[in-house]
Amino acid sequence: MKLLLIVPNYHCGGMEAIQGPLMNLGPLFIASAAVKNGHEVKYLDLTIDNIKYNECDSIFDLYSPDIIGVAARTHLVSEAIRVIHYCKQRNPKLLTLMGGIHATFMFQEIMSHHIEVDYILRYECEETLTLLLDALEKGDDLSQIPNLVWRKDDIVVNDMAQEVTDVNKYRPAYELIPDWNKYRNHFTGDLSAVVQFSRGCVQKCSYCSQWKFWNSWHSCSPKVFADEIEMLYKTYGIRYFLLADEAPQIDSELWEEVLNEIISKKLKGAYFATCARVKDVQRDKNIMSKYRAAGFMIILFGAEFTNNKTLNDVAKEQKFEEIHDAIQLVKVNGMIAMVDIMLGWNNDESEFFQTLREVPNLNADFICYFWTTPYPWTKSFNELTERYNLDGNYENYNFMTFFGNSSNQRSLEKELIKFYFWYHFKIKHIYNGFFTGSKMRRRIFRSIYFQGLIKSIVQIFPIMSSIIHQNKTVVNSMYYGSDKKSWSL
C-alpha cells in the first residue's frame, strides 16, 4: 500500500525557538516497520515547511497515497484532524489513521466526533501498523490486531499488545527525510537528528504520562544505537543528536555500554543533548567524564519545582538540594546543565515569585520556564482542573499557556523576562560561560546564550522581530493562547 505519514504544521515557540527545527521521530519509526513489509512510505513534515492543511494539494497529488497517517500529540491534534478532513474531502476513498500520545489516550473523543478518522493506532505501534496494512491489503479481519481502534458498526477498541516493541528490530527510517538541510540547529548551525535509545521511565510523576504511554522501560542494544549514530554521522553529516529518551540512563550497565560504544566510534565534532534524572547523574558521578568523552554536552534536568513539598506531592523522587548537586556534577565535568521549571502549578502568584527567587540557587547554565499543562489522562488532571480555567483548545496545550486565573499571563511573563535577564546577564555567569571550559562548551554556551537573548529582546520589543528575522519564519519564544474555547475538539 502507499502510505503517506504526515506531521501537521504547528509552531508555538519554546524549545523549538531556542533549539531549532527537528524531525518528528514517531512517524519515522513506524515507517520503517511498514517499509520492511514491502509497503511504499513517504514522510511529509508540514511543520518544517510551515505548510497548512489546505496548502498541501500539490504534494498530496504527487504522492497519491492509499492511506495517510497523521501524528497526533495534543498540540498537533486539531491541525491533524483538519489535514485528515481536508484530504478525505478531496478523495473519499482515502483511508486515514492517527497515532501518537494524544490519540492513544483520547481515542474515544476523536473517533466519536470525527467520522473521517478511520483508524487510531494506540501506544507504540510499529507492529500494529504492519499488521493493519497487511490486513487491509488482503481484506483480512482486523479484530485481532493489538492497539487498534477501528469502526465496524460501532467503534471497536482492540486489546492492548502484550509485549513492548522490539526496538532492535525497528529503527527509524531516516532515509525517508527528503532534505536534511532543513534540520539545522540554532546552537551551532549543525545538521541535527532526533535519536532514541530507550523508551519509557520507571518513575510515575503525577503530571507526566510518558511512563504510562511506553508501559515499561525498554531499549535497543547499545551497539545498535551507536551504529545508528555512526551511520547518521557518516551518511548524512549529522553532528548534533538530541535523545528522545525520557531517561536513557536508567539501566546503569547498559548506559555505560552506550557511552563506551559511542566513544569507540571516535566521531569528531559530534555532540549530544539528553534528559537525565537527577538520581542517575548522582549515581554516575564516577563516570561523568565518560559522558563528556562520548560528546554529551547538554544535560537537561526536569527540575520542575523548587519546593520540596511539591516535588514530593508529584512523586518526582528528587529534592531541591539533589538537583543542585547533579547540576554541579555536570558543570564541573565540562558539560552544560539546563533545567526545566514548571510555573503556575498552584495557580498562586506568590508561589510564582518564590520559584523565580529560588531557581537561581540551582546554579544551572540555562533555565527553561514552562507553564503547567494539564493533560486529561494524567494523575494530576483532576487536581489541576479544580484550580484552573480549562481551555478546550488543544492547540494551547503546549507548555506556553497559563491555564490559571490568579494573574494575567502577559504580566507574569514580563516579570519572568526580568528574572531571566537578571540571572543570565550576571558578569560571573557570562564569564563562566564565555571564557571557561572547552572550546566546544564555550561555543555551545555562546549560541544558546545569544538565542535566549534574541528571543528575549523580541519578546520585549516585538517590532525587533522583523529586523532580526527578516524573511525567515518566525518562531516566537513565548506564545499567548488566544482563541480559548469550551472543552471539545
Strands 119-121 and 95-99: parallel
Q: Least separation, in Å, of the C-beta of 139 and ligand B12?
A: 21
Rounded Cα gap, residues 449 and 434, in angstroms: 9
CA atoms within 13 A on the CB side of 106: 25
Q: Which is nearer to ligand B12, 30 or 327 (CB)?
A: 30
Rounded Cα gap, residues 37 and 104, in angstroms: 24
In the list ligand B12, ligand SF4, none, the entry touching 247 (Cβ below 5 to 8 angstroms by class) is ligand SF4
Q: Least separation, in Å, of the C-beta of 210 and ligand SF4?
A: 4
Q: Which residues bind ligand B12 (CB under 6 A)?
A: 5, 10-12, 14-16, 19, 22-27, 29-30, 47, 69-71, 73-75, 97-102, 121, 124-126, 129, 194, 196, 208, 210, 242, 244, 246, 375, 398-400
Q: Is there a contact between 340 and 301 (Cβ–Cβ < 8 Å)?
A: yes
What is the distance, to the nearest Å, from the Cα of residue 65 to the centroid of all Cα atoms in its chain? Answer: 27
In the list ligand SF4, ligand B12, none, the entry touching 124 (Cβ below 5 to 8 angstroms by class) is ligand B12
Rounded Cα gap, residues 240 and 187, in angstroms: 9
528490530: which residue's cell? 169
In the list ligand B12, ligand SF4, none, the entry touching 12 (Cβ below 5 to 8 angstroms by class) is ligand B12
Give the residue closest to ligand B12 by C-beta.
Answer: 99
Q: Least separation, in Å, of the C-beta of 105 and ligand SF4?
A: 15
Q: Least separation, in Å, of the C-beta of 458 and ligand B12?
A: 16
User: Residue 295's closest CA among 262, 343, 264?
Assistant: 262
Site for ligand SF4 in 266-295 (CB under 6 A): 277
Q: Which is nearer to ligand SF4, 101 or 238 (CB)?
A: 101
Q: Least separation, in Å, of the C-beta of 312 and ligand SF4?
A: 13
Task: Name the packing angle between helices 439-460 and 427-435 (round to 10°).
Answer: 140
In the list ligand SF4, ligand B12, none, the entry touching 27 (Cβ below 5 to 8 angstroms by class) is ligand B12
Q: Least separation, in Å, of the C-beta of 279 and ligand SF4?
A: 9
In the list ligand B12, ligand SF4, none, the entry touching 88 (Cβ below 5 to 8 angstroms by class) is none
Can residue 393 be called a binding residue for ligand SF4 (CB under 6 A)?
Answer: no
Site for ligand SF4 in 183-202 (CB under 6 A): 201
Rounded Cα gap, residues 489 and 486, in angstroms: 9
In the list ligand B12, ligand SF4, none, the entry touching 82 (Cβ below 5 to 8 angstroms by class) is none
Quick one: 406 exposed, middle or buried, by C-beta within 10 A (0-12, 13-18, 19+)?
middle
- x/- site string to ligand SF4, residues 202 to 241, per CB under 6 A? -xxx--x-xx------------------------------
Strands 40-45 and 192-195: unpaired
Host H or E run for residue 50: none
Rounded Cα gap, residues 429 and 75, in angstroms: 35
Rounded Cα gap, residues 315 and 204, in angstroms: 7
Q: Least separation, in Å, of the C-beta of 350 and ligand B12?
A: 25
CB within 8 Å of 375: residues ≥ 6 apart = 74, 105, 207, 209, 381, 397
Can residue 260 be called a binding residue for ligand SF4 (CB under 6 A)?
Answer: no
Q: Least separation, in Å, of the C-beta of 278 and ligand SF4?
A: 9
Residues that bind ligand SF4 (CB under 6 A): 201, 203-205, 208, 210-211, 246-247, 277, 302
